[in-house]
Amino acid sequence: MARIKRKVHLSELQLAIIRVLWKRGEASTAEVVADLGVRRGLAPTTLATLLTRLAKRGVLGQRRDGRTLVYRALVSEPDVQRSMVADLVANVFKGDATELLAHLLREEEVAPGDLAKVRARLKEGDRG
């Protein structure tokens, strides 16, 4: 998947749908319904509509296999995370990522092991 330059913001349900596609690689509407519909109490037509809308936005690709539409993600999980976190930082923390980090440390329970993992990732980033 190509690295996206545009912003991609997805609702919680849209994220659930695209996660099915990231996991499967591609899936028909019926397969997405099987993975999500029953757990979420969603009608197949609702999921079909959401898939179609995501395809029109360029987030998903679709192809026909006989009478069946098969979907695949056109955006990667890291690209979606990057875009949505950038929006969060810009809109909630006035563009200051350190404020987001401070908020997480202040408001959430952060285990000592979690801090060690973050430090290790920061060191990896310094080398890359």
- pTM over cut 0.85: no
Confidence category of residue 128, pLDDT binned at 50, 70, 90:
low
Q: Quick one: 76 and 115 in the same domain?
A: no
Q: Where are the beta strands (DSSP E) in the chain?
A: 27-28, 60-65, 68-73
On whether both 33 and 54 belong to a single domain, the answer is: yes
CATH (domain of 79): 1.10.10.10
- 52 and 22, same structural domain? yes
In terms of pLDDT, which residue wins out, 105 or 57? 57
Please indicate, yes or no, whether residues 75 and 111 belong to a single structural domain of this protein: no
> Do 19 and 52 sit in the same domain of this protein?
yes
Residue 84 and residue 121 in one domain: no
Contacts 24+ apart (CB under 8 A), 84-89: 84/8, 84/9, 84/10, 86/7, 87/7, 87/9
**How many CB atoms sit inside 10 A of residue 94's CB?**
8
Q: Are residues 73 and 104 in the same domain?
A: no
- The number of folded domains in the chain is 2
Single-letter amino acid code for the residue at 115: L
Are 60 and 82 members of one domain? yes
Tokens standing for residue 75: 């955006």
**pLDDT recorded at residue 2:** 47
- Give Cα separations from 24 to 27, 78, 83, 84 (angstroms): 7, 17, 22, 22
Residue 2's alpha-carbon distances to 31, 53, 59, 79, in angstroms, are 25, 21, 12, 9
Q: What is the mean pLDDT of residues 68-85?
A: 94
Number of residues that make up the chain:
128
Do residue 48 and residue 108 come from a single domain?
no
| pLDDT over 80 at 77, yes or no | yes
Structural domain including 39 reads 1-92
Q: What pLDDT, on a 0 to 100 scale, did the predictor assign at position 127? A: 60
Regarding whether 82 and 37 lie in a shared domain, the answer is: yes
